[in-house]
Structure 1
Amino acid sequence: MGDDGEGVIVSGASGVSGQVVVGVDGSASSLAAVEAAAAEARLREATLKVVHAFVWPALHVPLGPSPLGPDDGGLRNEVETMVAQAVERARAVAPGIDVTSSVVSGEPLATLEVQSRSAELVVVGSRGLGGFVGLLVGSTAVHLAAHGRCPVMVVREEPRTDGPVVLGVDGSLSAEAATDFAFAEADLRKAPLLALHAWTPWNAPLPAPDEGPYAAAPGALAQDEERLVSEAIAGHRERFPDVPVTTEAVRGPSRETLIEASRSAQVLLVGARGRGGFTGLLLGSVSQAMLHHAHCPVVVVRGDV
């Protein structure tokens, strides 16, 4: 294993399909991501690829051991040891999976964005070694959620093995893609699915121009929002008949409602942008809030990839 190279560590049966990628940097957060990624790979019968973005070659600093130090010193050996430890952690969590590892010369975001093009899921920790004190989620996690070419899981706090898969529903294109992922995820985990929609009169769709601002009958808005949730999951129940589904349309702010639901969730699924998103904005305010404050791993799914 070396710069731009891959070392394959076989641990389990061959013939699996798909690939889960996890970014590692030696931080405690990235090791938690490795554990979550290994569990996801086992569920999906996929290979797991452990990736480290090695920035030092671009800075033209010495990579080998110092002439005055031990033979196993130096940045290159340190990185290879760190990646090997991450692989061992993955094998301990999910002994039956196949694991590969890669050290790639480059910046983390660009490296993981490239990796996401051939992955079904990319997993990262909420904060890396470069995180500033007080910064709740690392810049790589936020930017990758916005730019990744596949769903991105950001691991926050200690993952649960019980509780529902929670899906944030808002009727947007991204939420439709998140719904597909959420049903599949619940099916893999043998977990119930909670399709949750939070609304207020201020974030509900505007009435048609010929209806007037006060045309709706009392209670009609709440009924419309409940219908939105039902329509969002329509067709998925038939494809995933073994997934128990609960739907809720809650009057209240989206951020606070989803954060509270995440306390008892295994994982929270959100679209990258909601129906109130601005054109050109790749990551919406609600999805960003989940990355910063949710109490479980968060998967951000873009609807345009």
Structure 2
Amino acid sequence: MHTDPAVVVGVDGSAQSACAVDWAAADAARRRRPLRIVHASLWPVLHAPLGLPMPLGYERAMREMAGDIAREAVTRATRIAPSLDVSTDMPVQQAAAALLDASRHADLVVVGNRGLGGFTGLLIGSVGVALATHAVSPVVVVRPGRSPGDRRAGQVVVGMDGSPDAERALQLALEQASVRGSGLTAVRACRRPGDGLDGDAFAASIAGWAAKYPDVEISQAVVPGRAAAVLVERSAGAELLVVGSRGRGGFTGLLLGSVSQAAIHHAACPVAVVR
């Protein structure tokens, strides 16, 4: 039995959550983690506040639908990685709350960028902000696109600004690059000369981690411009974009304002958010 924390993926039957399952299964297999598939729903208690009885057959139909969604996700995951250790969970809970609870013991929480049912607007409104802001584990947002096994993909890209969250983002980015056999590009955006890290500090912040991942070829890029535009541009052709949830300089308020919205909505690759 696995003792490692699981990669958790939220599913709702949408095409976006199917892409999230693909990404999560491939990641769990690469890093030898178990996969936990979570389908959360409040349907069993929808009638309770009004004191109304459950319509005849409604509960059975809803349970069957939830079971179908979970089984389809398991089938999809094992198609990606046949030997994967997969479990399912169908809590009677609001989706964000269920994933936040799961994040306390998770290695990663993976979600699609949009969904339906309990996951509608997961990374558009308050539910998504709650998950990205409060999840204990890193959160990965997957957009439909390239297959997780497509080796045409390029490097892992990480946004750096010298903040503690950026340091944790760098660690995750290096781990992901290592298991993928890809390189890593550390990017610092600056709107004006002298913004954020100076060149020596930027290099020093990377050098300490580089020694721990000698198999990863690391490049550094100081790019003029707004952080959102820089990150979106650098995501083109990347395997993964990794950012801290909060930062300083060009990455301040990454998950609270326009920068976060740009990364999540417009990045051309999956986005990992690290607190």
TM-score bracket for the superposition, by shorter chain length: 0.7 to 0.9
| Alignment map for 1:1-305 (pairs within 5 Å) | 14-15=1-2, 17-60=4-47, 62=54, 65=57, 74-130=61-117, 137-139=123-125, 140-159=127-146, 161=151, 162-201=153-192, 204-205=195-196, 225-276=198-249, 283-285=255-257, 286-302=259-275
Change (3 A) 1:130 1:52: closer
Deviation at 1:228, TM superposition (A): 3.6
Q: SS in structure 2 opposite 1:104?
A: coil
Q: Does the aligned pair in 1 maintain the 2:20–2:112 contact within 8 Å?
A: yes
Q: 2 CA distance for matches of 1:243 and 1:158?
A: 25
Change (3 A) 1:47 1:131: closer
- Structure with the greater alpha carbon radius of gyration: 1
Q: Which amino acid aligns with 1:199?
A: C
Q: 1 CA distance for matches of 2:250 and 2:225?
A: 18
Corresponding residue for 2:50? none
Q: Which runs of 5+ in 2 are unaligned?
A: 48-52
Q: Does the aligned pair in 2 maintain the 1:199–1:251 contact within 8 Å?
A: yes
TM-score (norm 2): 0.87
Deviation at 1:16, TM superposition (A): 6.3
Which is helix-richer, 1 or 2? 2
Q: 1 CA distance for matches of 2:185 and 2:172?
A: 13
Corresponding residue for 1:11? none
State the Cα deviation string for residues 38-76 of structure 1 (Å, max 9, x = none): 01110110100000111112212738735xxxxx96111
Q: Which amino acid aligns with 1:145?
A: A
Q: Which runs of 5+ in 1 are unaligned?
A: 1-13, 67-71, 206-223
Q: Does the aligned pair in 2 maintain the 1:136–1:292 contact within 8 Å?
A: no
TM-score (norm 1): 0.79
Matched residues, number: 264
